[in-house]
A and B are shown apart, each in its own frame.
Chain A
Amino acid sequence: MVYMRDYFFSVLNSNRVVALLLVTSLAACGRSPVDQVVNYDIEYPPEDGGTMIDATRGEPGGLITMIAGDAAASAVSQNIFNSLLRYDKNLEFEGELAESWQISPDQRVITFKLKPDLKWADGKPLTSADVLFTWQLLTDDKTRTPYGSDYKLVIKAETPDARTFRVTYAEPYAPAVNSWAGMDVLPKHLLEGQDINNTPFARNPVGSHYYKLEKWRPGEQISLVRNTLSTQGPARIDRLVSRFIPDEASQFLELMANNIDTMALSPVQYARIFPARPELQQKFALYKELGNSYTYLGFNLKRKPFNDIRVRKAINYAINKQELIDGVLLGMGEPVASPYKPGTRWTNPNLSPYSYDPARARELLREAGFKDTNGDGILERNGKPLTFEILTNQNKQREMSAVLVQRRLKEVGIDVKIRVLEWASFIGRFIKTGDFDMVLLGWQLAIDPDQYAIWHSSQQAPGQFNFIGYKNQRVDRLLERGRMELNPDKRMKIYHEFAEILLEDSPIVYLFAGYGLQAMHKRIKGIDNPAPPKGIGHNSQDWYIPRPLRRTEISQ
């Protein structure tokens, strides 16, 4: 037995076995054997050319994002199509197809002026008629898209001339500006008279951005090639290849085998595997971006005792957020105190999360009338023990968070059970029916601050997003005002106040926001580090691959 154990230790403890496997697999793929000795840390001047390969989890359903709606589709099509506006690296609006835009004094009319001489990749001119055409498609009831609602609020869209596009709203609608940064403008001359739901264009698109489709090999990959007529000027890298690799573990193996250049990492890969492997550090640079979502513990506010603010606050004080970040994310995240990306305009800098203060938590619970009368370590009120169930879905990070929360709540005398459910039954049986005590879930950290759908008291019907039953008249007013205010500075004040009330009310406990973690092969130069709020992708057109660092490419 001892012998056995030592044997296992010695074999599995060494990374040499894995490294050896990798070397053989590299050789087998016919990749350049010099790969091992190239020094990727040398700086080179920018130059054009080369191929960058990334991976998507699935194959896009098509490349018209309003129809396809999957993550893989938008990952590819964001390099093909333009919107009127976009976010700059600090998440402020700037023109993309639009040279400028103006909001009328009554905040109901937005007028976009397009840049001069815009062209589609096939050489035809891109005009305001194309923008109008795309808006008509998006708002047409025959178009099967989930993204139409924001655009349907436009009561009049017009094109006074070829470079002007003007939209009128019935009343001011602040998220509108954001919506014009999300509409991929499509070519009218190729799509007019076609059924947008089933058009061959979806697999053979013509756009106006840095790249155009080169070849789509079903089940394998999509390759894009530089669009010389790009409306945004030329990009440096010649070709972008997106391979379809559904499994994260296989993606990671492909990354290490030098078959893809970049992938999103898990905290474990980022904080444990890479630091332990010098040969990976030689080849890959790691980047940390602001996360896209936060994880929270939400209370069913319609149930006792969660309608009591003291209980909610007590639970908030009882949970150690830093411990969650260290344990679940291996330190790769930060606590949040408002539902916005940390460090961006909408985040109220004066707010800080509830500290970890179990004494305060016990104090608050005592005030609320809970006492341990029978000495079992669990508090009671009127003979009823303080015991709940945390519901969450099958997600490793959430399950681990629930276990940590469970332990901390036990320390202040709250008995918590954990129930992990598969997503469909979780939503169908518990969320829609409101049959839960606490949920451990996540919300997106969207760029636009409007959170009407999540927090407004009118949004509590089954299937709507305010399923925790939050109702606060001041918050309702602020959310309504925030939607009507297009001036960014005034809007900011509104949402700062909103976040402050939300924190004080504690309808949810903010647990953490994880960072977006990215590994990128060092052959790709010109990437901003540290990443700006928008993420490293904001200047991808300036990325370049110096000739000596390129893969040996097999011409087809």
Chain B
Amino acid sequence: MKRALSNPLALSGFIIISGIFLLALFAPLIAPYDPDAIDVKAILLNPSSIHLMGTDGLGRDVFSRMLFGARISLLVGLVAVGIATAIGIVLGAIAGYYRGWVDVVIMRTVDVMLSIPTFFLILAVIAFLTPSIWNIMIVIGLTSWMGVTRLVRAEFLSLRNREFVMASETLGASDKRLIFKHLLPNSMTPVIVSSVLGVASAVLIESGLSFLGLGVQAPQASWGNILTDGKEYIQFAWWLSLFPGFAILITVLGYNLFGEGLRDVYDPRSSKSR
């Protein structure tokens, strides 16, 4: 970790993400107002010292909603990627270790999944389920495990032919011991990098879904649905579009910087300098 943070990219990404995490974690303490408190006498106020980021079409404080929205965005990102990574590791490990027809089935499934545009697949699935934050996390998770599967499988394939693995296999180590002691720990680095990058895209997908009205449902705030609300007023209430847009941008940027930084540090093939 120390080595990772010596990389300026990874460090700046890490600082951004931790900042947002802290804001989200302490949202109830920081937020000056109840994020759902409606005040029809204070509709669409400009940002000021009373309402740091102005108010929305129902007079709700945008700053408070942004803080609580951050919780949703981060939660969705982490849980969805957690699901995707878990599925990816299991399938990738099976495919890479056992080879044969299991490998063929799993990898062709991956190809099929990859050939479907993920966002539209998610849209189609959500249309049948009730849109809710849990459904969204699960659906995003179930549709974005393919990259991890490929990575883990590729690592397994190359590790299996390395001397230390062959040695312990010759010494009679069980499948279980081989997988969990030797192969998995040694293939985790690319998985971590890709997961960090995956969080960024999950945050984007959630925002996109909420923007289309299929994500987090009213009155709960998420950056995506604050942004949708802002669309209608964009000609004069710029703060409704700017702040959530900027927050999404910064968060995605943070995860991407962190992920790229980690890759530079741990992946010898892609690093330019050490």
Q: Are B58 and A404 in contact (CB under 8 A)?
A: yes
Answer whether residue A327 sits at the interface, using C-beta atoms and an 8 A cutoff. Answer: yes
**In the assembly, what is the distance between CA of A408 and CA of B246, in Å?**
33
Please tell me which one of the listed residues B36, B238, B242 contacts residue A407 in the complex, with CB atoms under 8 A apart.
B36
A454 sits at the interface (CB 8 A):
no
Which residue of the partner chain, among B218, B235, B242, contacts A403 with CB atoms under 8 Å? B218
Interface string of A385-398 (1 = CB under 8 A from B): 00000000010100
Encode contact with B along A270-302: 1 for CB under 8 Å, 0 otherwise: 001100100000000000000000000000000
Give chain A residues whose Cβ lies under 8 Å from the Cβ of B38. Answer: 327, 403-404, 407
Q: Are A326 and B213 in contact (CB under 8 A)?
A: no
Residue B117, interface by CB 8 Å: no
What residues on A are CB-neighbors of B46 within 8 Å? Answer: 13
B236 touches A272 (CB 8 A): yes
Q: Mark B107-136, 1 if CB is under 8 A from A, else 0.
A: 000000000000000000001001000000
Cβ of B58 and Cβ of A326 under 8 Å apart?
A: no
Q: How far is the CA of A404 from the CA of B219 in the complex (A)?
A: 9
Please report the total number of B residues contacting A with Cβ < 8 Å: 23
Are the CB atoms of A394 and B213 closer together than 8 Å? yes
Q: Are B238 and A12 in contact (CB under 8 A)?
A: yes
**CB within 8 Å for A402 and B213 given contacts A268-B232, A276-B236, A327-B40:** no
Q: Is B217 touching A418 in the complex (CB atoms < 8 A)?
A: yes
CB of B40 within 8 A of CB of A406, answer no
Cβ contact within 8 Å between B47 and A403: no
Residues of chain B lying within 8 A (CB to CB) of residue A266 = 232
| Contact of A327 (CB < 8 Å), options: B59, B127, B213, B232 | B59
Does A458 sit within 8 A of B, measured CB to CB?
no
Q: Which residues of A have CB within 8 Å of B92?
A: none
Q: How far is the CA of A417 from the CA of B218 in the complex (A)?
A: 9
Residues of A within 8 Å of B43, CB to CB, are 326-327, 330
Q: Is B198 an interface residue (CB 8 A)?
A: no
Interface SS, B side: loop
In whole angstroms, what is the CA distance A323 to B59 when docked? 11
- Minimal beta-carbon separation of B36 from chain A (angstroms): 7
Question: Which residues in chain A, 366-400, are within 8 Å of chain B measured between CB atoms?
Answer: 394, 396, 399-400
Residue A420 at the chain B interface, CB threshold 8 Å: yes
- In the complex, residue of chain B having the shortest beta-carbon distance to the beta carbon of A323: B40
8 Å CB contacts to A: which residues of B58-72?
A: 58-59
* Residues of chain A within 8 A of B130, CB atoms compared: 419
Cβ–Cβ contact B213 & A420, under 8 A:
yes
- Roughly how many angstroms separate A295 CA and B217 CA in the complex, as a whole number? 21
> What are the residues of chain A within 8 A of B59 when measuring CB–CB?
327
Q: Cβ of A403 and Cβ of B219 under 8 Å apart?
A: yes
Known: A268-B233, A272-B236, A406-B219. A400 touches B213 (CB 8 A): no
Taking each of A268, A276, A323, which has the highest tally of chain B beta carbons within 10 Å of its own beta carbon? A268
Q: In the complex, which of the residues A396, A403, A407, A418 contacts B232, with contact meaning CB atoms closer than 8 Å?
A: A396
**CB-contacts of A127-179 with B (<8 A):** none
Q: How far is the CA of A406 from the CA of B219 in the complex (A)?
A: 9
**Distance in angstroms between the alpha carbons of A276 and B57 in the assembled complex:** 17
Task: Given A268-B233, A273-B235, answer yes or no on A326-B40 (Cβ-Cβ < 8 Å).
Answer: yes
Q: Is B84 an interface position by the 8 A CB rule?
A: no
Q: Does B44 contact A (CB under 8 A)?
A: yes
Instruction: Give A266's nearest chain B residue, CB to CB.
Output: B232
Distance in angstroms between the alpha carbons of A425 and B38 in the assembled complex: 30
- A315-337 CB contacts (< 8 Å) to partner B: 323, 326-327, 330
Residues of B within 8 A of A396 (CB): 232
- A417: chain B residues within 8 A (beta carbon): 217
Beta-carbon contacts under 8 Å, B6-40 to A: 36, 38, 40
Complex contacts, A3 vs chain B, CB 8 Å: none
Residue of B nearest to A327 (CB): B40
Q: Which residue of B lies closest to A15 (CB)?
A: B236
**With A and B bound together, what is the CA distance between A273 and B47 in angstroms?**
17
Of chain B, the residue at the smallest CB distance from A325 is: B40
* Assembly CA distance A396 to B231 (angstroms): 11
Cα separation A425 to B213 with both chains bound (whole Å): 14
**With a CB–CB cut-off of 8 A, which chain A residues contact B40?**
323, 326-327, 404
For B44, list chain A residues within 8 Å (CB). 272
Alpha-carbon distance A194/B46, docked complex (angstroms): 61
Question: What separation, in Å, do the CA atoms of A553 and B93 have in the docked complex?
Answer: 74
Give the complex CA separation of A323 and B40 in angstroms: 7
Residues of A within 8 A of B242 (CB): 8, 12
Q: Provided the pairs A268-B233, A420-B218, A425-B127 are in contact, do residues A327 and B58 lie with their beta carbons within 8 angstroms?
A: yes
When chains A and B are docked, how far (Å) is the Cα of A273 from the Cα of B58? 17
Contact of B58 among A8, A18, A400, A420 (CB under 8 A): A400
- Residue from the list A9, A268, A272, A276 in contact with B47, Cβ < 8 A: A9
Q: Whole-angstrom distance from the CB of B51 to the nearest CB of chain A?
A: 14
Bound CA–CA A18/B219 (angstroms): 33
A43 contacts chain B at the CB level, 8 A cutoff: no
Choice from B41, B127, B218, B233 contacting A402 with Cβ under 8 Å: B218
Give complex CA distance A327, B57 in Å: 7
Among B41, B59, B217, B236, which residue has the most Cβ atoms of chain A within 10 A? B236
Q: Which residues of B contact A425 (CB under 8 A)?
A: 127
**Distance of A249 Cα from B41 Cα, bound (Å):** 26
Whole-angstrom distance between the alpha carbons of A12 and B243 in the complex? 12
Give A252 to B232 CA distance when docked, in angstroms: 13
**Binary interface encoding of chain A residues 508-520 relative to chain B, with 1 for a CB under 8 A from any of its CBs, else 0:** 0000000000000
Specify which chain A residues have a CB less than 8 angstroms from the CB of B232 in the assembled complex: 266, 268, 396
Smallest CB separation, A276 vs chain B (Å): 7
In the complex, what residue of chain A is closest to B212 when comparing beta carbons?
A394
**Is the CB–CB distance between A418 and B236 below 8 Å?**
no
* Contact residues in B for A394 (Cβ distance below 8 Å): 213
Q: How far is the CB of B39 from chain A (nearest CB, A)?
A: 9
Q: Which residues of A contact B235 (CB under 8 A)?
A: 18, 249, 252, 273
Which chain B residue has the least Cβ–Cβ distance from A322?
B40
Give B95-114 as 1s and 0s: 1 = Cβ < 8 Å from A's Cβ atoms.
Answer: 00000000000000000000
Q: Known contacts A330-B43, A403-B58; is A273 also within 8 Å of B236 by CB?
A: yes
- CB B258 to nearest CB in A, in angstroms, measures 19
Q: Is A247 an interface residue (CB 8 A)?
A: no
Which residues of chain A from 6 to 25 have a CB within 8 Å of any chain B CB?
A: 8-9, 12-13, 18
A489 adjacent to chain B (CB < 8 Å): no
Which chain B residues (226-240) contact chain A, with CB distance < 8 Å? Answer: 232-233, 235-236, 238
Residues of B within 8 A of A106 (CB): none
Alpha-carbon distance A388/B219, docked complex (angstroms): 15
15 new A-B contacts at CB < 8 Å, known A12-B238, A327-B40, A425-B127 = A249-B235, A266-B232, A268-B233, A326-B41, A327-B58, A327-B59, A403-B38, A403-B219, A406-B219, A407-B219, A417-B217, A418-B217, A418-B219, A419-B217, A420-B213
8 smallest CB-CB distances across A and B, nearest first, come from: A327-B40, A12-B238, A326-B40, A403-B219, A323-B40, A403-B218, A418-B218, A394-B213
A-B contact pairs, 11 of them (CB 8 A): A249-B235, A326-B41, A327-B38, A327-B59, A396-B232, A400-B58, A403-B38, A404-B40, A406-B219, A407-B38, A418-B217
